[in-house]
Structure 1
Amino acid sequence: MIGRNTGAAYGSSSALSLGQMSAEFQVPSPLVPTRESLFARYCKQHTDGTWAVVDVSLDSLRPSPVLRCRRRPSGCLIQEMPNGYSKVIWVEHVEVDDRSVHNIYKPLVNSGLAFGAKRWVSTLDRQCERLASVMASNIPSGDIGVITTPEGRKSMLKLAERMVMSFCGGVTASTTHQWTTLSGSGAEDVRVMTRKSVDDPGKPPGIVLNAATSFWLPVPPKRVFNFLRDESSRSEWDILSNGGVVQEMAHIANGRDHGNCVSLLRVNSNMLILQESCTDPTGSYVIYAPVDFVAMNVVLNGGDPNYVALLPSGFAILPDGPTAGIGEIGSGGSLLTVAFQILVDSIPTAKLSLGSVATVNSLIACTVERIKAAVSGENAQQA
């Protein structure tokens, strides 16, 4: 979910506020359109200390030829617990036209898992875990590898967070950036779009080509997640590693699940890769980006990570329906999104060549086939 405050909040005290917001609610796949919404958000703290945050749609106030989503009264109650935790009750009530959702995603969307209260609560829980990890001071030395200071640990986590946000913003079917479907791209539709990177210290300058595809796998989500995040199996799908030896140089746990972590990987002693893997009951991600040796050394010593140029690629793994729980090994199949961001020209004014598109298309098609072969073979052995 991506939102922004478009109006000043006001109220009689700090415990009461009303504001206007617009948001895009997203699923990490180009096959599921985002849900746009303009709404008023009302926040109030009750006398018992409980907070109420309520949203209601304002979409009828703005002209639109097609209204695909209207946010009926929705929101959450947040109650402080005596043990330092919070109890959150979330209600999601939306009127929506989902006819443009691709068929393979309709069971997930119709179940409410894609845009529902369970996903928002899981996302909130994961964010709390990340914040706790950033603020933690009692970190065992064996957990951090080449990171030697708390400042270096925080800088690496901050860089990983920016990498994840960049990936999620580049893989969804946003209204801001339109996808083009490549013809003759194979069994799956490969969607591409280009972006110009200019004067952004966090991205290399030039023309960036985004390519993504989503498809179904007859393998439980947890198994797909564990396969893709494991550095020992990376050579089975990562073409760019050229089958080389992958070594984990640093590891930061940032959640209760063993799969929630940030890693620094070294490939053949000549390539560094920053990777974050994360999972919750509604979905999993494995996101990575090549990083410069010099820039990463600055980060490991606690330097500013905002000037490290990143072009993240990776995977989003979702259950294929309401009965396929992420944590259940024996559950149903997976919906896997594979996405790449590649700098195809260092000159922002250059035109995209057909050769660049063909190369990226070949890269994504080969990666998909390798993943299918690897996880299907593993699934057959376990069966």
Structure 2
Amino acid sequence: MERINEDGYESMSGSGNLDGGLEDEQETLVLEKPAKKLKYHRHTQEQINELETCFKEWPHPDEKQRLDLSRKLNLEPRQVKFWFQNRRTQMKNQLERHENVMLRQENDKLRVENVAIKDAVRNPICNHCGGVAMLGNITIEENQLRVENAQLRDELSRICGLAEKFLGRPVTPLASPIALPRPSSNLELEVAGNGFGGLSSGGTSLPMGPLTRPGMMGVEKPFNSSVFVELAVTAMDELLRLAQADSPIWMTSLDGGKETLNPVEYMRTFSPCIGLKPSGFVTEASRETGIVMINSLALVETLMDGSRWAQMFPCVIAKASTTDVLSSGIGRTRHGALQLMHAEFQVLSPLVPVRQVKFLRFCKQHGEGLWAVVDVSIDTALDGASINSFVNCRRLPSGCVVQDLSNGYTRVTWIEHSEYDESAVHYLYRSLLSSGLGFGALRWLATLQRQCESIAILLSSTVPCEDHSVLTQAGRRSLLQLTNRMRDNFCAGVCASTVRMWNRLHVASLGEDVKVMTRKSMNIPGEPPGVILSAATSVWMPIMHQQLFSFLRDERQRSKWDILSNGGPMQEMIHIPKGQTSSNCVSLLRLNVS
């Protein structure tokens, strides 16, 4: 029975609901006998293409999006709503059918092996002469086949349980009898690799066979990727429990209300998923919750893309890349996406070493507009040994829980939990890192809020530039690109990440708190070819940071500390706001030589 909307129109598009059924109770329509003749409406190919494009971006459009789309395509809002309902139901049914096919294939394999075992029992063959053997001669072979068959059944049950946790819905093997062709006498049982091609969901394969990873001296070591899936599921469970838990596992500080983790309660509640803490490492863990000017789908896409993730946190992430994708998601979404990543985190000081972390990133949708993204290091998860000497930090289950709000904003709960080598950190910054202000959840969430606010303001055409000259939109965009390059080069020169190939210079007259480096500039936009010299240090000053920041950004005070101004006053020519506060902006200054 096909779906009929309340206006008497029947959806006849190529992407309609081919399987019947509705997605949930809220979208259920009761089909009543119409009092008049039904009107049939067939969408045009242009309308279908536009609807499919919008479905990829937001499969659950709100009322405003449906209204805009109906005006654009010359359709009624109810027609747009029913098309999206049919499309979601069709995708859901296709996914379930695909999963059933995969499980049916695994069940068929076991049935084939079962028939082979029965055939071997009925017609025993002697291994020496090839004739008919007595039953007593095949006891060992029969027992071995039964043991291998039981192992295969246990493996199938384990993968079904793992898939249930990974996908968030029950997955059970089929048990209905199926007529199978009689197998050949040659029986090849693969006990180690049980013939599973992968755990597939919606066209996305999770390889369960052995993989290789770089070992010592360049030797490749085999490793089963199912361990990655188990580690990701365990980390996701811990992240959700930490996001929902309150006292006593989270302690609120008296100054500012920051939430830090109680290590005693944490060890009592959770078991280490990547091994015990290495000797000499210290723990830092914090949690923050705030409202961000972005929707959940856009934020999830940004987090799962290495380059966009680094651009969203420019002063926190020095470098980020995706080394391998185990699963790209289910049904053209990021639900179930699992990938291996490498990143370098930084504090803008030469006295704090850059943190290099290799980790798994797992994304899962837990409800309508509710997502969670979790990270967990794999440095010790691969072989269970102690952490490698070149790794100065490892990331325990950390990430964020994202929930859409009705006004287009998103509530984000951010959790940061890591262990690092404190001996490499200068004593000036040890208290900063232990308090969570260096790499803690407060810094990540504040950076995310500031960047989303800046993007929203820069994309808005109603915000004028407060300048004293005419600045076109192209000139404004070029100026902002220039400031982004300035910021990236500044951070690279201070922290010496692997983004640039720096050579450390050791000057006898300078202490360890001053870092002097050089690099060659070759074909870098905005830089002339030659040698770049960078000298950086950090000092402690008995003054509030807000007061110092206000002094440095005031162009009227710049001649007091900037030797390049030659004592002359500065004049602000262009002012481009990047936030609601006046201190978050881009300014073009000119030295008044007169």
Percent of aligned pairs sharing the same letter: 51
* Structure of greater Rg: 2
Contact 1:137–1:150 (CA<8 Å) still a contact in 2? no
- One-letter code of the match for 2:509? G
| Map 1:212-231 → 2, pairs under 5 A | 212-231=536-555
> Residues 113, 40 of structure 1: CA spacing in aligned structure 2 closer, same or farther, 3 A cutoff?
same
TM-superposed CA distance for 1:244, in Å, is: 1.6
In the alignment, is the contact (CA less than 8 A) between 2:351 and 2:513 conserved in 1? no
Q: SS at the partner of 2:338?
A: strand
- Matched with 2:68 is none
Residues 51-200 of structure 1 mapped to structure 2, 5 A cutoff: 51-60=371-380, 61=382, 64-140=388-464, 143-174=466-497, 177=502, 179-185=504-510, 189-200=513-524
Q: Name the CA distance, whole Å, in 2 between partners of 1:257 and 1:210.
A: 31
Over residues 23-69 of structure 1, what are the superposed CA-to-partner deviations in whole Å (9 max), with x where a residue is unaligned? 11100001001111000101122222111111111112498334321
The residue type paired with residue 262 of structure 1 is V
Distance 1:181 1:109 in 2: 27
Aligned 8 A contact 1:134 1:157 in 2: no
The 5 A counterparts of 1:359-378 are none
Instruction: Give me the whole-angstrom Cα distance separating, in 1, the residues matched to 2:492 and 2:456.
Output: 24
Q: Please tell me the residue identity of whatever aligns with 1:135.
A: L
SS of aligned partner of 2:425: coil
User: What's the counterpart of residue 355 of structure 1?
Assistant: none
Q: CA deviation at 1:85?
A: 1.0
Deviation string 1:62-100 (CA, Å, 9 cap, x unpaired) is 983343211111100111111111111011111221111
Q: Equivalent of 1:4, from 321, 326, 336?
A: 321
Give me the whole-angstrom Cα distance separating, in 1, the residues matched to 2:444 and 2:504: 26
- How many Å apart are 1:122 and its aligned residue? 0.8
Amino acid at match of 1:43: C
Question: Which residue number in structure 1 is paired with residue 588 of structure 2?
Answer: 264
Higher strand fraction (1 or 2)? 1
Aligned in 2, Cα 1:257/1:178: closer, same or farther, shift over 3 Å?
A: farther
Output one character per residue of 1:111-166: Cα deviation in whole Å (capped at 9) or x when no partner.
1110111111011111112212320211235x133243222222212221221122
Q: Distance between the aligned counterparts of 1:148 and 1:19, measured in 2?
A: 43
Q: Do the aligned residues in 1 keep the contact of 2:575 with 2:588 (CA within 8 Å)?
A: yes
Query: In structure 2, what is the Cα distance between the partners aligned to 1:32 and 1:181?
Result: 18
Q: Which amino acid aligns with 1:72?
A: L
1:39 to 356, 359, 374: 359
Instruction: Show the counterpart of 2:342.
Output: 22
Counterpart residue number, 1:277: none
In the other structure, the counterpart of 2:257 is none
Structure 1 residues 105 and 179, CA gap change in structure 2 (3 angstroms): farther
The total of aligned residue pairs comes to: 268
- 8 Å CA contact 1:31–1:173 kept in 2: the answer is no
Aligned counterpart for 1:201 among listed residues 500, 519, 525: 525
Name the SS of the counterpart of 2:548 in structure 1.
helix
User: What do the CA deviations read for 1:226-272 (whole angstroms, capped 9, x no partner)?
Assistant: 111111111111111111221111001111222111000111359xx
SS in structure 2 at match of 1:93? strand
Structure 1 segments, 4+ long, off by >4 Å, are none
Q: CA deviation at 1:11?
A: 2.6
State the alpha-carbon separation in 2 of the partners of residues 182 and 147 from structure 1.
48
Gaps (5+ residues) in structure 2?
1-316
Within a 5 Å distance, the mapping from 1:273-352 to structure 2 comes to none
Cα RMSD over matched residues? 2.1
- Relative to structure 1, the CA distance from residue 40 to residue 147 in structure 2 (aligned partners, 3 Å threshold; closer, same or farther) is farther
Deviation at 1:196, TM superposition (A): 0.3
More helix by percentage? 2
Shift of 1:181: 5.0
CA apart distance, 1:189? 3.5
Using the TM superposition, give the Cα deviation of residue 178 of structure 1 relative to its aligned residue in structure 2, in angstroms.
Answer: 5.5
Paired residues of 1:182 and 1:191 also in contact (CA < 8 A): no
1:360 corresponds to: none
Greater relative contact order structure (CA < 8 Å, 6+ sep): 1
User: C-alpha deviations, 1:303-331, integer Å up to 9, x for none?
Assistant: xxxxxxxxxxxxxxxxxxxxxxxxxxxxx
What SS does the aligned partner of 1:151 have?
helix
| Structure 1 residues 105 and 116: CA distance shift in structure 2, 3 A | same
